[in-house]
Chain A
Amino acid sequence: MRRLVLERRMETPWALTLASPLLAVGLTLVSAVLVFLAMGRDPLEALFVYFVMPVSDLWGLQEVAVKATPLVLIAVGLALCYRSNNWNIGAEGQFLMGAMAGGWLAVATHGMGAGAWVLPAMLAMGALGGALFALIPALLKTRFGANEILTSLMLVYVAELLLDWLVRGPWRDPQGFNMPQTVVFAPEATIPLLMEGGRLNLGTPIMLLVVVLVALMVARTLKGFEITLVGEAPRAARFAGFDAKRLTWTVFAIAGGLAGLAGVLEAAGTVRMLQPGLSPGYGFTAIIVAFLGRLNPVGCLVAGVFLAITFIGGENAQIMMQMPLDVTRVFQGLLLFYVLGCDTLLLYRVRWVRRAEA
């Protein structure tokens, strides 16, 4: 008798780490072709509409950048958390909290003709709001040993309901026909656009700057080494004198701050108001981005752009090929499925063993 077992690899070859997400993408593409064929569509045309059209002109590139910006910002912060074994699942809540903290200033100063200080202050408050909100699960973890997966996830609902209440109640636009939304932010509370005829705004350069800074921090600083070491070898990290609890506070604050910054950038840049549907699940999609990017800041950038392309490609497929929305959803599901599947095969070796041996 022989059976199949998964055996943990002692060491994952470096090349495979890079190949895994590529393999996942490749398998998704193959599946996509099969789905298109089954639907009776030309697979080449469909793949073109999905993956090439979104990046084939300046307008499309701008839209991809706009969509990728919040995903990458959040994912970079989450990558730091996950590297150090801090499982922050609540970026969605930290994103919304940042949007609310920054958006409050926009609502409070609306119609007062406030000066240019408003926007920088909003960004700072957004980052601060997200960071403080993320410190709640950090506190609960370090002080009481509460599982941060649960606490951070539960706080997402708290943030969602708070936003819901604010835009239905105290912050509702008095001229908005009772729709649950704030006023449209005044120009001084809106992120400036960078190009005529598109929606690219200052958020994208900020995101790129963050990616560079975090990549440098991970690769070149002691703090970066500490984050990796605490995650991979907690005992060794203790011997080296690193304080795992302090690090939990640090990474939660950074991740929450970046998610909060993404939130206020989205509210003041793309949506220009607060409303309950502010985030189409950016905080959760960013978890996929972080893992697809192998918890590496630059990897997160690549993965975030890729996911943004599939999202906009899905809309294009509806527009150009009259394909239903469900097909897009199927692809995003398949991608995650293959990423996780491929990762399993990288971390583990599949082996046939004799039952007698086991």
Chain B
Amino acid sequence: MTLSRRNILLGGGALGAAAASPAQAQAPLNVGFILIGPVGDFGWSTMHDQGRRRMLEVLGDRVRATQVEAVAPPDFDRVATQLVRTGSRLIFTTSFSYFQATQRVAGQNPNVFWESATGTATARNLAIYNARFYEGRYVQGVIAARKSRSKTIGYVASFPVPEVIHAINTVMRGAWSVDPQMRIRVVWAGAWFNPGREADAARALIDQGCDVICQHTDSPAPLQLAEQRGNVFGFGQASDMTRFAPRAHLTSSVNNWGDYYVARARAVLDGSWQPTDTWGGLDSGMFRLAPFTNMTPEEASEAERIRDALAAGTLHPFEGPITRQDGTPVIPAGQRLTDDQIRAQNYFYQGIEVQMP
């Protein structure tokens, strides 16, 4: 009881101070970052690191940044608490694997602003942010259907969380828009970053006849394996991975967290921070598609057209009719899934012959 009352008082005081006191505004804001992988994963964590650098570049000496990389979920509480204790007032926790723990420590530290990269709920001092990567997945599906001769896409997946499930569904939506005969196979690597297992997964998929590999893991390993095998194509994840597979790479989804980090740090500095729920699409600049490679001019211009339609909002990947794997209808034609429905997607579409693990 004492504890919670003291925390509330502390929190109220700090929030008030951040909003009002000019002395507070002059001291640099210490921003913490907790990364799930090493900064050198060339994917998800690398791009968060670049976002941090961008924030430092733009805001200069108004901010300082502290980053802890490769934090295993059981170590999260200690690292987060230590960041708070060493003066971080805005902390980005950049994995869904941390989300529950972030909710917990945000409650324990109400005087700190928390931001979870992907999450399912906000709180008084907890914002969530993510990009609508599924728009890129739709384009991947369209391209894959054009490039595949075996009509089979291979998907190196991490965990069966809704983010991954709806990405798989959307890849197939895109592929079916070109060729309804397209099929998909999925291997669960059980990790966000584990180059060895990611490569094994890609190898297994290619051996089963997949000739376009999508990946929902963070290292370039699946793409590199596609390059080695030859006559197999793949998509880069999180950063422009063209250089890892100059002959296999088709496009990459390139994340850009920098502008968001700048905006959020600025919001804390001028006292306007709100626990927002941000889900930015292609039009927001939170991610873009890397230049199309290894494609004919016709294929590339089709991909561009689809990309632009998604960005403009004239094409939406979650239009009805949508039917579950087992035949249960979700929404009829003419309706569209809400954001919350997309975020909770826990089922494969009819026609996707993949077992939920």
**A177 in complex: contacting residue of B83, B86, B162, CB < 8 Å:** B162
- A contact residues around B66 at 8 Å (CB): 318-320, 322
Instruction: Give B313 Cβ to nearest chain A Cβ, in Å.
Output: 27
**When chains A and B are docked, how far (Å) is the Cα of A8 from the Cα of B32?**
53
Inter-chain contact A199/B79, CB cutoff 8 Å: no
User: With A178-B159, A319-B86 in contact, do A325 and B69 touch (Cβ < 8 Å)?
Assistant: yes
CA separation between A200 and B3, bound complex, in Å? Answer: 17
* A residues near B77, Cβ cutoff 8 Å: 199
Contacts of B228 in A (CB 8 A): none
Q: For B73, list chain A residues within 8 Å (CB).
A: 275, 277
Per-position binary interface string of chain A over residues 38-75, scored 1 when its CB falls under 8 Å from any chain B CB and 0 otherwise = 00000000000000000000010001001000000000
Given A178-B159, A178-B160, A277 and B72 touching (CB < 8 A)? yes
Does B78 reach chain A (CB closer than 8 Å)? yes
Q: Is A324 an interface residue (CB 8 A)?
A: yes
Residue A312 at the chain B interface, CB threshold 8 Å: yes
A275–B101 alpha-carbon span in the complex (Å): 13
* B65-80 interface with A by 8 A CB criterion: 66-70, 72-75, 77-79
Report if A211 contacts B (CB, 8 A): no
- By a CB distance below 8 angstroms, the chain B residues around A11 are none
Is A346's CB within 8 Å of the partner chain B?
Answer: no
Q: How far is the CB of A241 from chain B (nearest CB, A)?
A: 46
Looking at A66, A164, A280, A315, the one whose CB has the most chain B CB atoms below 10 A away is: A315
Confirm or deny: B346 has a beta carbon within 8 angstroms of a beta carbon on chain A: yes
Give which listed residue, A184, A275, A276, A324, contacts B69 with CB less than 8 A: A324
Task: Say whether B96 faces chain A, with CB atoms less than 8 Å apart.
Answer: yes
- Kindly list chain B residues whose C-beta atoms are within 8 Å of the C-beta of A178: 159-162, 165, 346
Closest to A176 in B: B100
Q: A110 to B140, alpha carbons, bound, how many Å?
A: 43
Q: Is A271 an interface residue (CB 8 A)?
A: yes
Given A164-B190, A277-B73, A318-B69, are A177 and B38 also a contact pair (CB < 8 Å)? no
Q: Digit string of B156-186 for contact with A (CB within 8 Å is 1, else 0)?
A: 0001111001000000000000000000000
Residues of B within 8 A of A66 (CB): 78
Enumerate chain A residues within 8 angstroms of B32, measured Cβ to Cβ.
319
**Docked-complex contact A315 and B67, CB < 8 angstroms:** no
Interface range on chain B (Cβ under 8 Å from partner): 20 to 34
Number of interface residues of A (CB under 8 A): 30
Q: Considering the chains assembled together, what is the distance between the CA atoms of A270 and B74 in angstroms?
A: 8
A168 proximal to B (CB < 8 A): yes
B120 at the interface (CB under 8 A from A): yes
Q: Among residues 90 to 135 in chain B, which have CB atoms less than 8 Å away from a CB atom of chain A?
A: 96-97, 100, 120
Known pairs A277-B72, A315-B82, A325-B38; A196 contacts B357 (CB<8 A): no
B159–A179 contact, CB under 8 A?
Answer: yes
A266's closest neighbor in chain B, by CB?
B74
Q: Which residue in chain B gives the minimum CB-CB distance to A197?
A: B3
In the complex, the answer to whether A184 meets B100 with C-beta atoms within 8 Å is yes
Chain B contacts for A276, CB-based, 8 A: 190
Is B243 interfacial (CB-CB < 8 Å)? Answer: no
- Scan residues 194-220 of chain A and give those whose CB is less than 8 A from a CB of chain B: 196-197, 199
- Chain A proximity of B195: nearest CB distance (Å): 16
B68 touches A319 (CB 8 A): yes
Q: What residue in chain A is nearest B77 (Cβ atoms)?
A: A199
B68 touches A315 (CB 8 A): yes
Question: How close is B12's CB to chain A, nearest CB, in angstroms?
Answer: 19
A332 CB-CB contact with B under 8 Å: no
Interface residues of A (CB under 8 A from B): 59, 63, 66, 164, 168, 177-180, 184, 196-197, 199, 266, 270-271, 275-278, 280, 312, 315-316, 318-320, 322, 324-325
9 further A-B pairs in the complex, CB-CB below 8 A; given A280-B75, A315-B82, A324-B39: A59-B81, A184-B100, A196-B3, A278-B74, A280-B72, A280-B74, A315-B78, A322-B66, A324-B69
Question: Which A-B residue pairs are the 8 nearest by beta carbons?
Answer: A178-B160, A271-B74, A318-B68, A277-B72, A325-B69, A177-B161, A178-B161, A319-B66
User: Could you list which residues of chain B lie within 8 angstroms of chain A, going by C-beta atoms?
Assistant: 3, 32, 38-39, 66-70, 72-75, 77-79, 81-83, 85-86, 96-97, 100, 120, 159-162, 165, 190, 346, 357
**Would you give 11 A-B contacts (Cβ < 8 Å), ordered by A?**
A59-B85, A177-B162, A179-B159, A270-B74, A315-B78, A315-B79, A318-B68, A319-B86, A322-B66, A324-B39, A325-B68
